[in-house]
Amino acid sequence: MLAKLFNGALLNILNILIQLVLGLYLFREMLIYFGAQDFGLWSMMMAMLAHIALFEFGLGGLISRVVSQSNDLDGVSQKSVVTTCYVMICSVSALFFISSVLGASLYTSSNQALSFEMKDNSLFYVCLLLSLNFTLNFISGAIQAFLIAKFHMRFINAVRLMTNIMRMIAVLTSIHYELSLEMIAVIFVCSALFELLCRAIYSYENGIRELLSLESLSKKAAIYISHRASRYFFMQMAFYVRNNSAVLFSGALLGPSAAVTWRIVGRLMEIYVEITSSINYLLTPYFSRFIHQRQQEVILKFKVSLLVTSSISALILFNIFQHSEWFLGVWLGEYPPITIESLQLLAIGFCLVNMQGPCTSMLIAKDKYQIMSYISIGELVLTLVLMPILMNLYGNIGAAYALLCAHTVIWAMYVPWIMAKQLSLSLSSYYLCLAAPTLLVWLVFQAFDLCSNWLLSATHVPYIVNFIALEITLVVAVLVIAYRVLVSSTQEMRQIES
């Protein structure tokens, strides 16, 4: 099972890195084509519509958990829970789309304060299409939860990569022929529909039909789901605020152009979000399968996951500090002056959050939704209180200070204390699982970076070639370290069992 988990995580990471390269190129072309004002408005719309994630209520994670672990459902059948989850998701999707269309219609008919500078583009129709895009992605994500529980990672990654390539080609073609923003929004809808259909058909062929039956809908299942969903809401809210608050606050307080900085930073922070989220999606069904084993085995599996996510998060952090200025220059050429400082501040906070991603998966597996809600409410309140205050004091950079403060208090202090208490670990042992791989990756990074700089000065190899070679070497080194940790932990677990 550990080998399956490792291979799935490796496939996810490789696929995400490819998608990020494609996405960064597409991002630049869209920024140039739209202009700062229109791209800022587009980013604000995307951030506002992303609030559909608030109403996911952790149903995707619950589906993965229930599909992986059919027992311990408080007397409710597996089929009943899964069917009710999907009915709820489809209902939320329909309500979201209708409310978004009505909201956009009312806003555009009563207020023209915000509009696209590019001619022949309707704010209403763009909002309508983007709402449909988010609705389709919302349903698609729920279907993906079933595939993740069954560990169909090759198919998931293949479809995702194919969708992103098709979308990029279509958008670049639209930009080349100077088509409207509405046409680009149509492309987003078509790509989301393609991904949804692929996942739905494949899931149907691989057993999801056996878990779906409208006859199995029950009030008992709805109560079981609602009890957990109500607590999961705050986690989704905290996740949404973490990823979108800077864009929304800067756009509202300083104008749409100010949001461009945070859209640039947010695009790079997606490296953290996508990689660690993909690992956590795998860890939820993984922990659920083993949660009823002996405490010593569960703790060992949790420590291994912390070591791996800490290594990956630290590698991303050190790369951002070392190469962010050069990378932004190559990627965008020109960018707002506070972008680098904002990026580095956010990278520290996101590193603290994402290296502890397995905590969320473990709490879901242990059915500790109330504790998750406490963590999320703390981060949410701190962010929303600090952000307007610090933005008024320091301007646009204040958003980065607010997020860093919230992440430090919650994820560097409160979460370690909670997890140590839940798993009967000492705080020193928990912090060691975070600090040891971070220090090791830093030493490896410094060693390879010194060799890379020497090679650059001695051979006059172009910096970009040197950078790519360094990154490949570092990723391989971290994966080797992670693999060795997995192998040693497997041997230790066998000794425990014997």
Q: Which residues of 85-118 are buried (b: 16+ CB within 10 A; e: fewer)?
A: bbebbeebbeebbeebeeebeeebeeeeebebee
Count of residues making up the chain = 498
**Nearest 5°: CA angle at 38, between 34 and 39?**
70
Question: How many domains are there within the chain?
Answer: 1
User: Given this model, what pLDDT does residue 269 score?
Assistant: 77
Contact between 437 and 314 (Cβ < 8 Å): yes
269, 266, 268, 290: which is closest to 2 by C-alpha?
A: 290
354, 190, 201: which is closest to 276 by C-alpha?
A: 354
DSSP string, 372-393: HHHHHHHHHHHHHHHHHHHHHH
Least confident of 10-24, 100-114, 359-373: 10-24
Least confident of 343-357, 403-417, 449-463: 449-463
Residue corresponding to tokens 């060992």? 300
- Give the highest mean pLDDT range of 25-39, 193-207, 465-479: 193-207
Contact between 4 and 490 (Cβ < 8 Å): no
User: Given this model, what pLDDT does residue 96 score?
Assistant: 87
Higher-confidence residue of 11 and 34: namely 34
Give the single-character DSSP code of 180.
-
pLDDT digits (tens, 9 = 90+) for 242-287: 887 888 888 778 877 777 788 788 777 776 666 666 666 555 555 5
DSSP string, 6-26: HHHHHHHHHHHHHHHHHHHHH
Structure tokens at 303: 């420590």
Structure tokens at 137: 């992605």
Contact between 196 and 142 (Cβ < 8 Å): no
User: Given this model, what pLDDT does residue 288 score?
Assistant: 53
Q: Is the pLDDT of residue 424 over 70?
A: yes
CA distances in angstroms from 197 to 11, 136, 158, 191, listed in the order given:
22, 10, 14, 10
Least confident of 39-53, 148-162, 318-332, 446-460: 446-460
Q: Is the pLDDT of residue 479 over 80?
A: no
CA distances in angstroms from 456 to 303, 318, 321, 443, 449, listed in the order given:
38, 19, 19, 20, 10
Task: Kindly state the average pLDDT of the residues 303-329.
Answer: 82
pLDDT digits (tens, 9 = 90+) for 345-404: 988 998 898 888 888 878 877 777 778 888 888 998 999 999 999 999 988 899 899 999
Cα–Cα distance measured from residue 400 to residue 78, given in angstroms and rounded to the nearest whole number: 43
Q: Is the pLDDT of residue 222 over 70?
A: yes
What single-letter amino acid sits at 197?
L
Least confident of 31-40, 50-59, 337-346: 50-59
pLDDT band at 466, cuts 50/70/90?
Answer: low
What single-letter amino acid sits at 369?
Y
In which domain, by residue range, is 240 found?
Answer: 2-497
Kindly state the percentage of the chain with pLDDT values over 70: 78
C-alpha of 477 from chain center: 24
Cα–Cα distance measured from residue 127 to residue 104, given in angstroms and rounded to the nearest whole number: 7
Contact between 432 and 310 (Cβ < 8 Å): no
Task: Kindly state the average pLDDT of the residues 61-85.
Answer: 74
Higher-confidence residue of 84 and 227: namely 84
Give the single-character DSSP code of 206.
T
Cα–Cα distance measured from residue 435 to residue 20, given in angstroms and rounded to the nearest whole number: 27
User: Given this model, what pLDDT does residue 402 score?
Assistant: 92
Structure tokens at 51: 């609030």
What integer best gives the mean pLDDT of the chain? 78
User: Given this model, what pLDDT does residue 337 score?
Assistant: 80
Q: Is the pLDDT of residue 464 over 80?
A: no
User: Given this model, what pLDDT does residue 411 score?
Assistant: 92
